[in-house]
Structure 1
Amino acid sequence: MDIQGYCAPGFEALYDAFASNFLEHGDVGASFCAVQRGEIIASLWAGSADRDGTRAFEEDTLANVFSCSKGVLALVALQQVAAGKLDLDLPVAHYWPEFAAAGKGEITGRQLLCHRSGLIAFRERVADNLIYDWDAALQQVAVTEPWWTPGSRQGYAPFLYGWTLGGLIEKASGQSLMSLYRQGVAQPLALDGGFGAVGHRSASIADVGPLKKPLPELRDNAIGRSIKEDRQGPVATAFTNPVTLMMGTNGDQWRGALIPAANGHFSARDLATIYGDLASEEPTLLPADVLRASTAEQSRGQDAILQAEVAFACGFIKSAEAQDLYFGSPAGFGHPGAGGSIGFADPQQELGFGYVTSRMGQSLFMDQRAVGLMQCLYRLL
């Protein structure tokens, strides 16, 4: 395996750890990056970016990182908090009056961010192409009824999170989400990608697909079992209404749309750079006091959709003891994406970690590929 990139002196073992993901765990195209105190200590990439194996995976190649996108979206929301444009404890309807429909008048921005709004899926079956129409998706969210009393329980919103929080950001700021992302995050950090796969610095896009050989699971597949047991229940509906949410991720419609909970396209260097900044003592993206308050635990429990014990800060998942949710230290926070990609911050080490892959495993959290890289890295620190 021809591994490209750089490791700082003393971190050379990461070459072998990264190569093992291709040789033993089925990676076909991937990148990995770690940033500590503003310096890249490793940036590695290898493999192919297309299904035919004719186009190389580069350092700036963008891969669909699915729910890793949620952490970046939360960051944009928190920047509006820092700017005084968004108060997380006011009702969303204060900024977005239409959102008050169907019993949502008291839902707050904080509840959206920490997945306690009850708004986990569209209640009615929606048109397959709805997800490609930003304005139509916001209108549908505004009239959707929560699945349970807001604030009463924790339930992860796999896709609606992007439209509910994205709509709130736009209503509160008076600007488009894409403009806010570019001005507040992408340009200051010179990032390669962003939401969707077009209009960014990098034009290199990886095709995604499943691993040919599934990895051994790090936890029981309770989500899959729940979907099979109740095809009309909240877990199944959250992931399959409409069915296009699980299909077409290599198509032009998906790549050209704004689906901020799931179609972020980033490089590993992007994710490590973002979280490296958030892990630093003097972050540039957020004032330190806002960052401390927003990364404190807001909700913890057996999540009704993820079917696992999960703790949320404001838009970030908190580090846990479970191997697939341990982000470097107990102080860590970040967000994994379906299939195996991950970005996280470890303030104890002032470190940002990013791994993206074009070959998706079956976990919604980290799998053996990212875990192996993290464990190797931390042995070397």
Structure 2
Amino acid sequence: MEIYGHCAPGWEALYDCFAENFRHHGDTGAGFAVRQDGETVVSLWAGWADRNGEVPYTEDTLANVFSCSKGVLALLALQQVDRGKLELDRPVADYWPEFAAAGKGGVTARQLLCHRAGVVAFRERVPDTLIYDWERACATVAAVEPWWEPGSRQGYSPFLFGWALGGLLERVSGRDLRDLYREFLGGPLGLHGGFGALGHRSDRIADVAPLKQPLPELRENAVGRAMKEDRDGPVAKAFSNPMSLMMSSNSAEWRGALIPAANGHFSALDLATVYGELASDTPGLLGSDTLAEAVREQSRERDQVLQAEISFGCGFIRSGRAADLRFGGERGFGHPGAGGGVGFADPEAGIGVGYVTSRLGQSLFMDRRAVALVDLLYSFL
């Protein structure tokens, strides 16, 4: 497999590590990038963007990064906090009255961002087409009943997070969510991708597919076990209601829809650029006070959905000890995505990192491909 791109002098071993993911770990199209102090110090890509091996994967190829999207969405919300249009501890219903339904009148924006709102899944079966209808999805989330008393537990929201937070942002700003993204992130940073896969700077879209040979897991698949044990519980409903959430990632409907918790399409360089900016000494995307609050621990406990101990800031997962959630130093923060991708910032090293792939592993966090690259990167720092 021919590897394209460049590495900073002395970091050339990353070429071979990246190639190893193709030789032995199932990658067929992927990108890896690192930004430091405003410069791209690593940008590697290789393989094919389509299943037939006919369309080359390029630096600006967009891959569906699934929950990596949440970090970008959270950043948009924090920018509205910076502008004085959104208050973290004010009830969401103050901005969006319909959201007060079913006992959610006291849910705050902070609780949404750190996954303590109880809004983790639709309770009743919803039609597969719901996820493609932005207004209908937002209205359905506004009406949903929490799975537990808001604020009492930490429970990750795989998909509803996007409609809840995105719907709030549109009401706070009076703007379409995609317009907000283009004005405050995509345009200023020159990003290739965005939410959904259409209408951005790049029209190169990778088809995603499962790894042909699953990688050895870095942790027990506790989520899968919880889904099987209680098919009507919050874990099962969070990932499979409706089933189109798990089965339509290459469809035109998915790519054209606004599903901001899960259908962000970005290049590795996009993610490294966003987080590199946040890791810099003088980030221009957020004021220093807002950023400090965003990365401060807001909630830490065994998550009711992810079935693991997770430390959340405001929309970001904070660096932990486990290899699949270790984002550099203790101050690191970011967000992994189902399948193995990740974007994160390490302010101590001043770097932003992005890894995206078209071959999806079974992990909800980083898998061995990203971990190997990150571990080698840190041997140079």
Fold in common (TM above 0.5)? yes
The residue aligned with 1:28 is 28
Cα distance in 2 for partners of 1:199, 1:254 equals: 14
Cα distance in 1 for partners of 2:325, 2:143 equals: 34
The residue aligned with 1:115 is 115
Cα distance in 1 for partners of 2:159, 2:54 equals: 33
Secondary structure in 1 matching 2:11? coil
Matched, 1:98 2:101: no
Deviation by residue 1:284-342 (Cα, 9 ceiling, x = unmatched): 11111111111111000000000000000000000000110000111100000000010
Could you tell me whether the CA contact under 8 Å between 1:11 and 1:41 is conserved in 2?
Answer: no
Counterparts of residues 44-63 of structure 1 (less than 5 Å): 44-63=44-63
Secondary structure in 1 matching 2:31? strand
Counterparts of residues 21-170 of structure 1 (less than 5 Å): 21-170=21-170
The residue aligned with 2:287 is 287
The one-letter amino acid of 2:315's match is G
Secondary structure in 2 matching 1:365? coil
User: What is the total number of aligned residue pairs between the two structures?
Assistant: 381
Q: State the 1:73 CA deviation.
A: 0.1
The one-letter amino acid of 1:39's match is E
Stretches (4+) displaced over 4 A: none
The one-letter amino acid of 2:189's match is L
The residue aligned with 1:230 is 230
Per mean C-alpha deviation after superposition, the further-off stretch among 285-294 and 324-333 is: 285-294
Identity of aligned residues (%): 67
The residue aligned with 1:372 is 372
Deviation by residue 1:249-274 (Cα, 9 ceiling, x = unmatched): 00000000000000000000000000
Cα distance in 1 for partners of 2:20, 2:209 equals: 19
The one-letter amino acid of 2:260's match is P
Could you tell me whether the CA contact under 8 Å between 1:69 and 1:262 is conserved in 2?
Answer: yes
* Structure 2 portions without partners, runs of 5+: none
Q: State the 1:8 CA deviation.
A: 1.4
Matched, 1:339 2:339: yes
TM-score by length of 2: 1.00
Cα distance in 1 for partners of 2:251, 2:127 equals: 18
The residue aligned with 1:189 is 189
Q: State the 1:6 CA deviation.
A: 0.7
Secondary structure in 2 matching 1:311? strand
Q: State the 1:10 CA deviation.
A: 1.0
Cα distance in 2 for partners of 1:293, 1:222 equals: 31
The residue aligned with 2:350 is 350
Deviation by residue 1:158-191 (Cα, 9 ceiling, x = unmatched): 0000000001111111111111100000011000
The residue aligned with 1:267 is 267
The one-letter amino acid of 1:373's match is L
Matched, 1:202 2:202: yes
Q: State the 1:24 CA deviation.
A: 1.1
Deviation by residue 1:36-90 (Cα, 9 ceiling, x = unmatched): 1111111000000000000000000000000000000000000000010000100
Cα distance in 2 for partners of 1:256, 1:42 equals: 31
The residue aligned with 1:299 is 299
TM-score by length of 1: 1.00
Cα distance in 1 for partners of 2:53, 2:228 equals: 35
Secondary structure in 2 matching 1:259? coil
The one-letter amino acid of 1:92's match is V
The one-letter amino acid of 1:243's match is M
Deviation by residue 1:187-224 (Cα, 9 ceiling, x = unmatched): 11000000000010000000000000000000000000
Secondary structure in 2 matching 1:343? strand
The one-letter amino acid of 2:115's match is H
* Structure 1 portions without partners, runs of 5+: none
Could you tell me whether the CA contact under 8 Å between 1:340 and 1:369 is conserved in 2?
Answer: yes
